Amino acid sequence: MSRDLIEIIESVYSTLSKGQKKISDYILDHYDKAAYMTAAKLGDEVGVSESTVVRYAIELGFEGYPEFHSALQETLRMRLTAVQRMEVSDDRISEGEILDSVLTSDAERIRKTLENVDREAFDRAIEALLSARRIYVIGMRSSAPLADFLSYYLSLVFDDVRRVRTTSGSEVFEQLMRIDERDVMIAVSFPRYSTRIVSAVDYALGAGVKVISITDSVASPIASGVFATLTAKSDMVSFGDSLVAPLSIINAIIVAIGKKKKDEIGKTLSKLETVWEEYNVYNKGAGDRSASKE
């Protein structure tokens, strides 16, 4: 289901039974807590049986409680403010377990991403990039560093890579004014989705552009109608997001492009090494401080 779960509950509320309304009331008021409850725990909290909770999920159009629970967690990620995110993470992770918990969770997100990523979509994305006239890369807010990383490495391979940046709504469209069906756009966005990137994707699609979306779900607002969607698991980490799995997808894109254009990249990197050496771009070693002196 692509609709927000809270909206679904509100739209059918008047048709529900007394017990189902009790569940709805609890979720509407405490969805941040309900998102981490089993069916049995939610039933205990509300005062109904576990089977009533399962039937409730089915009544809302889900196959069962697991699907309903996933939708509830997705709603949580999309609706929570930064302050609420921090409060939820504080409840879930004790102070002495932060490092282990975060790293273990990140490893699990990469594992789930590997299980669910569309490999045919990945191959289509690579072929589209190789044949593009221009490549536009767009990512905003917390997704901006991912877009920066990807555009940097693509610019080492392709002649015309454009990182779409914005400080205002109109500025996005000014940068996209000449985009057409010969181009490819890579859009990176994870909850909470930026309205500007959704508008930019819609604009590109209207121009006949092949859009590659890197996002969390095929239900994402930047996934509808695009050429290829590459999904990666992300989740809340305190007031921020875990984006290690999306970065792994981006790394895979860079490696795949590198394999296809190995000779061109070799020549480019050889030239760059000469420039970097001449202008002391990189420190030569721990004992060499000359490169860092002004």
Whether this model's pTM surpasses 0.75: no
Give the residue-averaged pLDDT of 267-273: 85
Task: Select the highest-mean-pLDDT range: 94-98, 238-242, 259-263.
Answer: 259-263
Sequence ranges of the domains in the chain: 5-79, 117-260, 263-294
pLDDT of residue 152: 95
Amino acid letter for position 28: L
159 close to 267: Cβ distance less than 8 angstroms:
no
The overall longest dimension of the chain from CA atoms, in Å, is: 76
Q: What is the pLDDT of residue 105?
A: 82
**pLDDT at residue 58 is higher than 90:** yes
**CATH 3.50.50.60 applies to domain 117-260:** no
In 123-262, the DSSP E strands lie at: 135-139, 161-164, 184-188, 210-215, 228-231, 235-237, 240-242
* Band of residue 110 on the pLDDT scale cut at 50, 70, 90: very high
Greater model confidence, 100 or 162: 162
Res. 88 pLDDT band, cuts 50 70 90: low
Report whether pLDDT(79) > 50.
Answer: yes
Total residues found in the chain within this entry: 294
In the prediction, which pLDDT does 80 show? Answer: 60
Tokens found for residue 17? 């039974």
- Predicted pLDDT of residue 293: 47
* Residue 38 vs residue 30, higher pLDDT: 38
Centre a 10 Å sphere on the Cβ of residue 207 and count the other Cβ atoms it contains.
16
How many helical (H) and strand (E) elements, i.e. helices and strands, does the chain have?
Answer: 13, 7
Please compute the mean of the pLDDT values over residues 210-239 and round it to a whole number.
87
Distances (CA, A) of 34 to 70, 125, 161, 235: 11, 37, 44, 16
Confidence at residue 168, expressed as pLDDT on a 0 to 100 scale: 63
pLDDT the model gives residue 291: 46
Task: Give me the pLDDT at residue 42, please.
Answer: 94
Q: What is the CATH number of domain 5-79?
A: 1.10.10.10
The Cα 179–Cα 20 span in angstroms is 50
Average pLDDT over the chain reads 86
- 97 or 53, higher pLDDT: 53
